[in-house]
């Protein structure tokens, strides 16, 4: 009999953390439902091979957007992990908590108990920080977080160039002071990807009260307004996994709203159109979809110090062999080792632009490398006002949902991205890059006017793969809220959602960290525990924020 106290759908960032915490005291049984296969294999565990699992159908759900009208009707890939560890097993391994003000905004929007003071203790509980700011970071949690070694001289050049351009430096953007240029943090430990599967799920599965069920979740079964379990397809048959206490969806910001709608929870008119019985009319299900877009600003390098020299098959084989035997060398990093969080203009009180710096000119997916030595900055605005939707294609669970991000639909997005390009050019023009700087590869020095920049943005803006917001958390009396501040689905008992879909607004930076925190905090709510005591630590806000961007 497939039965447990708690049934979790999804073994990703939040789901793995939930499984670990809900089973920790041994009093409750937990089943984790995961459709994907094993994460054991060199291409997932080797950090520098990150583009491979992200572009492998065995590990990825293979979602994509509908044609995006403001990006020349391009269809953008929307990778989500279909593997143990979920998207934490195919992501770029960049660790960012988000800014304190992000979480304060959540609380202001109705997510009471999720302000920075409330969530900081959970970030500390989950972290095992190597080199972070003392007093601000956790040092005993399951999630190992480290900095890269920054041996390539271009990392230091990028950080110094930011300083020369007048921006702040920061020793730890996940500590008191996010704003500034500094070292980027990675979920890598002893040379391996430190996914949620490695940090949380494997230790949890060693307990007798946790089991993993491989199956495709079709819908949540709901009787008399109470979730009773999950209907799955496994080994060619339809089976029922019974939840004695609660069902928790941690299936991603794409699959969690899809499952709610297939189960009768969502916008009533849409559900009826698909012939689905309405259990709870929640118009917010699938709405409020957000993401980060980014551009690659690429520059030729005049010295052979970039990763271009190791992109040949022989060098890759050597790197792979060193990693396989010793877990060291260029295979043991994601190469994102320098970063920045800056403000776009005076009057913005905390960073709204993020930089990832890479000592190579190459796309995130590993394709379209420049045919020369080069370096690049991934840059994009953090808080776009554009919103999209996830809706059902049909009532058939096997059909992929309809994903419309509506990227660049707000006029400010264009202004923000133009500023990002010009700002990056300003940073690359600083003296720190004088000995390395060649011609601009992209957009190219001839692309200067607003119209030219807009054409470049339309053709080349890429998703940073941070979808969220589709099951928004808020006040129970808010018609657009999907879950209340304890992650309970409004209108259905015994059902919660705990993953990035509940974010009221997207956080600064990469979303793996806040997603794991969500699983950690939701576990305490589910178990009826008093939340960890709020922190009284005050984050750094630039005293010149009203006057200047730097």
At 62-120, the pLDDT tens digits run 999 999 999 999 999 999 999 999 999 999 999 999 999 999 999 999 999 999 999 99
* Rounded-to-integer distance, Cα 193 and Cα 104, Å: 31
In 3D, which of 3, 1, 16 has the Cα closest to residue 515? 16
Across 235-248, average pLDDT? 97
Domain boundary among 422, 439, 460: 460
Give a yes or no: residue 396 inside a domain.
no
Q: Do the Cβ atoms of 537 and 176 come closer than 8 Å?
A: yes
**What torsion do the CA atoms of 176, 181, 183, 185 make, to the nearest 10 degrees?**
60
The predicted model gives 450-477 an average pLDDT of: 98
Let me know whether 331 and 310 are in one domain.
Answer: yes
Provide the 10 A C-beta neighbour count for residue 549: 20
Q: Is the pLDDT of residue 258 over 90?
A: yes
Domain end, chosen from 397, 427, 460, is at 460
**Strand locations in 405-487, DSSP E?**
437-442, 462-463
The three-class DSSP label of residue 495 is strand
- Residues making up the annotated binding site for FAD are 5-34, 83, 91-94
Reported confidence tier of residue 363, pLDDT bands at 50, 70, 90:
confident
Q: Give the model's confidence band at 368: pLDDT under 50 very low, under 70 low, under 90 confident, else very high.
A: low
Q: How many domains does the chain have?
A: 2
Q: What's the rounded Cα separation, in Å, for the pair 490 and 31?
A: 23
pLDDT for res 356: 98
Per-residue pLDDT band at 367 (split at 50, 70, 90):
low
pLDDT for residue 365 is more than 90: no
On whether both 214 and 98 belong to a single domain, the answer is yes
In this structure, the answer to whether residues 211 and 156 fall within a common structural domain is no
Confidence class for position 1, pLDDT limits 50, 70, 90: confident
Cα angle 102, 108, 111; round to 5: 85
Per residue in 404-433, pLDDT (tens digit) is 999 999 999 999 999 999 999 999 999 999
> Could you list the residue range(s) of the whole structural domain that residue 501 is in?
1-65+79-145+192-285+469-533
Asked if 219 and 347 sit in the same domain, the reply is no
Distances from the Cα of 270 to the Cα of 392, 402, 441, 495, angstroms: 8, 13, 46, 21
Structure tokens at 514: 């806040």
Which pLDDT score, from 0 to 100, does residue 454 have? 98
> Residue 204: inside a domain, yes or no?
yes
pLDDT of residue 243: 98
What CA–CA distance (Å, rounded) separates 14 from 210?
16
Mean pLDDT value of segment 194-220 = 98
Length of the chain: 550
pLDDT at position 505, please?
98
Q: Does residue 330 surpass a pLDDT of 90?
A: yes
Answer yes or no: are the C-beta atoms of 180 and 327 closer than 8 Å: no
Tell me, what's the pLDDT at 154? 98
Q: Looking at the predicted structure, is the pLDDT value of residue 240 above 70?
A: yes
Enzyme catalytic residues: 466
Interval 434-449: pLDDT, tens: 999 999 999 999 999 9
Q: Rounded to an integer, what is the distance from CA 26 to the centroid of its chain?
A: 30
What distance in Å separates the CA atoms of residue 249 and residue 474, rounded to the nearest whole number?
17
| Residue 452 half-sphere exposure toward CB, CA atoms < 13 A | 10
Give the CATH number, domain containing residue 486: 3.50.50.60
Whole-angstrom distance, CA of residue 429 vs CA of residue 14: 41
Give yes or no: residues 90 and 229 share one domain. Answer: yes
Same domain as 415, residue 329:
yes
Residue of 426, 533, 439 whose CA lies nearest to 118? 533
| Range list of β-strands (E), 359-499 | 374-381, 389-391, 402-404, 437-442, 462-463, 495-497
Residues 105 and 171 in one domain: no
Greatest C-alpha distance within the chain? 70
Same-domain pairing of 178 and 257: no
- Cβ 356 vs Cβ 336: under 8 Å: yes
User: Residue 347: which CATH number?
Assistant: 3.30.410.40
Q: Is residue 209 situated within a structural domain?
A: yes
Asked if residue 548 belongs to a domain, the reply is no
Residues 209 and 309 in one domain: no
β-bridge partners, 33 = 9, 213
Is there a domain that residue 391 lies in?
A: no
DSSP code string of 155-195: HHHHHHHHHHTT--B-S-TTTT--SEEEEPEE-EETTEE--
Tokens of 65: 């957007």
**432 & 369 share domain:** yes
State pLDDT tens for residues 369-388: 788 999 999 999 999 999 99
- Per the listing, tokens 């039965």 go with 3
Tokens of 176: 């008191």
Do residues 181 and 159 lie in contact, with contact meaning Cβ atoms separated by under 8 Å? yes
- CA 75 to centroid of chain Cα atoms: 20
Compute the mean pLDDT over every residue in the chain, rounded to the nearest whole number. Answer: 97
Domain shared by 109 and 226, yes or no: yes
427, 460, 493 — which closes off a domain?
460
pLDDT single digits (tens) 480-535: 999 999 999 999 999 999 999 999 999 999 999 999 999 999 999 999 999 999 99
Q: How far is CA 184 from CA 94, 276, 405, in A?
A: 7, 46, 28
Asked if residue 405 belongs to a domain, the reply is no
Say how many Å lie between the first and final Cα of the chain, rounded: 61
Q: Supply the pLDDT for residue 369.
A: 76
Q: Are residues 272 and 155 in the same domain?
A: no
**Residues forming the annotated binding site?**
5-34, 83, 91-94
State the Cα–Cα distance between residues 301 and 159, nearest whole angstrom. Answer: 17
**pLDDT above 90: percentage of residues in the chain:** 97
Q: Does residue 167 belong to any structural domain of this protein?
A: yes
- What DSSP state is assigned to residue 515? H
For the chain, counts of helices (H) and of strands (E): 14, 25
73 falls within a domain = no
Q: Which helix (H) or strand (E) holds 250?
A: none
């Amino acid at each position: 009999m497939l039965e447990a106290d708690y049934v979790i759908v999804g073994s990703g960032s939040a789901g793995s953390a939930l499984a670990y915490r809900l089973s920790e005291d041994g009093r409750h049984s937990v089943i984790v439902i995961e459709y994907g296969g094993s994460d054991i294999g060199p291409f997932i565990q080797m950090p520098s091979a990150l583009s491979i699992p992200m572009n492998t159908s065995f590990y990825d759900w293979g979602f994509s957007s509908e044609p995006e009208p403001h990006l020349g009707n391009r269809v953008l890939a929307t990778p989500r992990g279909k593997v143990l560890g979920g998207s934490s097993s195919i992501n770029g391994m960049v660790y960012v908590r988000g800014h304190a003000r992000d979480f304060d905004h959540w609380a202001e929007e109705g997510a009471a108990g999720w302000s920075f003071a409330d969530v900081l203790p959970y970030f500390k509980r989950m972290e095992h920080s190597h080199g972070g700011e003392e007093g601000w970071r956790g040092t005993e949690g399951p999630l190992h977080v480290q900095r890269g070694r920054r041996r390539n001289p271009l990392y230091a050049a990028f950080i110094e160039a930011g300083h020369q351009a007048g921006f702040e430096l920061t020793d730890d953007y996940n500590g008191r002071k996010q704003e500034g240029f500094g070292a980027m943090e990675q979920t890598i430990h002893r040379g391996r990807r430190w996914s949620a599967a490695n940090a949380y799920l494997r230790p949890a599965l060693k307990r007798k009260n946790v089991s993993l069920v491989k199956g495709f979740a079709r819908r949540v079964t709901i009787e008399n307004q109470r979730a009773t379990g999950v209907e799955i397809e496994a080994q060619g048959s339809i089976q029922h996994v019974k939840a004695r206490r609660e069902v928790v969806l941690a299936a991603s910001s794409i699959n969690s709203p899809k499952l709610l709608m297939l189960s009768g929870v969502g916008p009533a008119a849409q559900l009826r159109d698909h012939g689905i019985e309405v259990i709870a009319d929640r118009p917010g299900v699938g709405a409020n979809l957000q993401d980060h877009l980014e551009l690659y600003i690429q520059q030729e390098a005049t010295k052979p110090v970039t990763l271009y020299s190791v992109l040949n098959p022989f060098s890759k084989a050597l790197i792979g062999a060193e990693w396989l035997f010793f877990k060291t060398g260029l295979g043991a990093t994601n190469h994102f080792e320098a970063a920045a969080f800056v403000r776009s203009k005076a009057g913005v009180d905390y960073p709204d632009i993020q930089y990832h710096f890479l000592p190579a000119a190459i796309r995130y997916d590993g394709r379209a490398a420049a045919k020369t030595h080069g370096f690049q900055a991934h840059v994009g605005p953090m808080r776009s006002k554009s919103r999209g939707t996830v809706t059902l294609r049909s009532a058939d669970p096997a059909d992929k949902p309809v994903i419309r991000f509506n990227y660049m639909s707000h006029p400010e997005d264009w202004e923000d991205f133009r500023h990002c390009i010009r700002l990056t050019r300003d940073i690359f023009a600083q003296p720190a890059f004088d000995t390395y700087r060649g011609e601009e590869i992209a957009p190219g020095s001839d692309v200067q006017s607003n119209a030219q920049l807009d054409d470049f943005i339309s053709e080349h803006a890429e998703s940073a793969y941070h979808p969220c917001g589709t099951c928004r958390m808020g006040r129970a009396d808010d018609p657009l809220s999907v879950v209340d501040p304890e992650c309970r689905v409004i209108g259905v008992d015994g059902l919660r959602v705990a993953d990035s879909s509940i974010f009221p607004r997207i956080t600064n930076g990469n979303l793996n960290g806040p997603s794991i925190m969500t699983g950690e905090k939701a576990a305490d709510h589910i178990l009826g525990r008093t939340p960890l005591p709020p922190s009284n630590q005050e984050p750094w806000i630039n005293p010149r924020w009203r006057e200047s961007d730097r």
